[in-house]
Chains A and B, each alone.
Chain A
Amino acid sequence: MTSKSKHEWLDTTHKKAVNRFAERRDHFESSSGAELDPLYGPEDLAEWNYHEKLGYPGEYPFTRGVQPTMYRGRLWTMRQYAGFADAAESNKRYKFLLEQGQTGLSVAFDLPTQIGFDSDSEQSIGEVGKVGVAISSLEDMETLTEGIPLEQITTSMTINATAPILLAFYVAAAKKQNADLTKIGGTIQNDILKEYIARGTYIFPPRPSLRLVTDSFAWCKDNLPAWNTISISGYHMREAGCTAAQELAFTFANAIEYVEAAIEADLEFDEFAPRLAFFWACHSNFLEEVAKFRASRRVWARIATERYGSKNPRAQMLRFHTQTGGATLTAQQPLNNLVRTALQAMSAVLGGTQSLHTNSYDEALALPTEEAVELALRTQQMIGHESGVADVIDPLAGSYYIEELTDRVEKEAMAYIDRIQDLGGALTGIEQGFQQREIQESAYRLQQQTETKDRIVVGVNDFITDELEPPSIMRVDPAVEKRRVDDIRALKARRDQEAVDNSLKAIRQAASGTENMMPLLIEAGENYVTVGEICDVLRDEWGEYQEVMTL
């Protein structure tokens, strides 16, 4: 039996060993560059209190998970992001995925749809149906959801600047199925702030964009109660190069901005916050990612209670979707990506995610093939059904390192949130280019570490082999764009033009007033007004956002 302290061990046994054989590296660090000790022990958690830091699943501060039973009750939702070409093609892929055991839909839209252009617009040339499905009108939305009972599945839509419009079309499609709107579940990303920071599919300046966000909050609370009105996303900022702690901090700073805007619009925190969802990336540093997910729940629970005086536990629970790291995929030795994705997915599950998208191994090359998507889904099924990690809740809790790391990520994130608040909040930070610059710095540092081999990426800067033939890739049929243009022109010719004009007039009036836009957007959808037509009116009223140059 020994009563040696960690420091005594470091100074004696460990030091002696290192003096004889140096360690692999001079120092080991976290994604934010913090030095890692060789090991962690009870002294690192000397002040640590189980009940204060962790508590129990389903209870404040929710570090161990938001549901009391977690994956023993039900596995996470396996939700593969998909969509390409036109609505009919995508509808086929969704039906295939549902048949394969996927439990929710996740719609990827093409870039024109995301930034408010119809498929027949000049700006859309070359982009129609490329990174997602092209949806310009309710007719397209009806085709997209044809034969899929919207009451029985949940749908996540990655859509931001045009989120209220696409949600309005979805609601209109559900009404046509005679669905009960209280049973319609799903999520719109609707997180415009991170578009200015990283993802880039903004249209309007921030203030009117935030008004669209709060309009959707208010309308959904009363009319679409099971809908998650926003998915506040760290994912894209992480993909753009930031660290794990920055991912949490920038996202929570955005969340605070939305909450303040909603409170400003007379909404009650405890009423709308239960419908806020979050979206994290999952990169390759396995244990740090697990710690990040656990820390994120604790940070949000504290923001909810300490900042907003929340009394409703549902408003304090951070529920999140996770996607494995697209930026970690390599074009070299693409099959390696299967393994990377499996490890990342495992950490998301150990971190207690509510839903998960696993990337396909060929996505550094092009849109994924059907075979690659199926393997990605199978990866989740193996983790859920074969690995055993889903059988006990939060199984890594109590590990000295995991708890120390969870505390550290929380502390780093809180410090950054305070910094952004001191600047005047997320929006002011964006206007000054603060978050953008911080992300660029981290991305550049990562690139340099890769080039100097401080960081090894297998198959890219080490363990390089002669490349085999590249695998066959998915291609969107170029005929899709032509077909889309014809279809939209035909739709525009046959709809009731007077109804269209009236809808657009009402939208223009509401844009300069304060009326909730959602009912008008639904009605416009029902009159087959297009995404591009609605956005043209709003661009005219509100202007367009100009990128802040930070380089």
Chain B
Amino acid sequence: MNDPNTTSGSVAEGRPIRVLIAKPGLDGHDRGAKVVARALRDAGMEVVYTGIRQTPEMIAEAALQEDVQVVGLSILSGAHLGLFPRIVEELTQRKIDDVLLFAGGIIPAEDVSQVEALGFKGVFGPGTDTRDVIEFVRENAPRRV
């Protein structure tokens, strides 16, 4: 269980890890995004959730304004290969090049290598244990002083 009292690893390093959970595309399936956002928050991280229907510009702008180290994208409509490159481009334009990127939702196995090539370090499908996501973020989030 994600008890914040026993899983304060991120806080121990001084500052909590800041995470943006965003839903690009037009689908409204936000169950997974909300569950992951809450699990990361319960694990001691600072989580900003954007809500649904975010454009690539809105997501990159939120990442910039919220000064996050981690961006998690959830999409279930099948538009990931159309949208992810545009989001990466928008991030790059804002000189955000050190964030940890990960994705969740319905992303077919055969698309994973293309998503990884864009710089995503993790792709989590249906049935993922939130403890695996927490561990992944803790291990891979860029350190901040």
Contact = CB atoms under 8 A, between A and B. Distances in A.
Interface of A: 111-112, 114-115, 123, 125-127, 130-131, 195, 198-201, 239-241, 327, 329-332, 364-367, 440, 443-444, 447-448, 450-452, 457, 460-461, 470, 473, 476, 547, 549, 551
A330 B127 contact: yes
B106 interface: yes
Nearest to A469: B109
B38 interface: yes
Contacts of B8: none
B131 A451 contact: yes
Contact of A127 (B26, B106, B130): B26
Interface stretch (B10-18, B28-36, B64-72, B93-101): B28-36
Contacts of B130: 447, 451
Contact of B51 (A331, A440, A457, A547): A547
A440 B28 contact: no
Contacts of A327: 31
A200 B82 contact: no
Contact of A126 (B53, B81, B106): B81
29 contacts: A111-B27, A114-B26, A115-B26, A115-B53, A123-B26, A125-B82, A126-B81, A127-B78, A130-B77, A130-B78, A131-B78, A200-B52, A200-B53, A201-B28, A241-B31, A327-B31, A330-B126, A366-B108, A443-B35, A447-B130, A448-B1, A448-B2, A451-B1, A457-B127, A470-B110, A473-B110, A547-B52, A551-B37, A551-B38
Size class of the B contact interface (CB-based, 8 Å) = 35 or more
Nearest to B26: A111
A123 B86 CA distance: 13
Interface string B75-111: 0011101110000000000000000000000101110
B78 A551 contact: no
Contacts of A447: 35, 39, 130
Contacts of A470: 108-110
A551 B34 contact: yes
B9 interface: no
A452 B78 contact: no
Contacts of B37: 551
A440 B51 CA distance: 13
Contacts of A452: 1
B25 interface: yes
Q: Which 9 A-B pairs have the closest CB atoms?
A: A200-B28, A126-B82, A126-B79, A111-B26, A130-B78, A460-B127, A331-B126, A547-B51, A551-B49
B106 A444 contact: no
B125 interface: yes
B22 to A, nearest CB: 12
Contact of A366 (B39, B55, B82, B106): B106
A364 B125 CA distance: 9
Nearest to B51: A547
A327 B35 CA distance: 14
The residue in B26, B29, B38, B79 that gathers the most chain A C-beta atoms within 10 A of its C-beta is B26
A423 B26 CA distance: 31
Contacts of B127: 330-332, 364, 457, 460
A451 B49 CA distance: 23
B139 interface: no
A536 to B, nearest CB: 16
A240 B31 contact: yes
Contacts of B53: 115, 200
A126 B30 contact: no
A550 to B, nearest CB: 8
Given A240-B30, A457-B127, A111 B77 contact: yes
A450 B31 CA distance: 15
Nearest to A549: B51
Nearest to B81: A126
Given A111-B26, A123-B26, A470-B110, 17 more contacts: A123-B55, A126-B83, A127-B78, A130-B79, A131-B27, A131-B78, A201-B26, A330-B127, A331-B125, A331-B127, A332-B127, A364-B125, A365-B109, A447-B35, A470-B109, A551-B37, A551-B49
A440 B38 contact: yes
Interface in B43-61: 49, 51-53, 55
Nearest to B42: A444
Nearest to A326: B29
B126 A476 contact: no
A365 B26 contact: no
Given A126-B82, A200-B52, A366-B78, A443 B29 contact: no
Contact of B34 (A125, A440, A451): A440
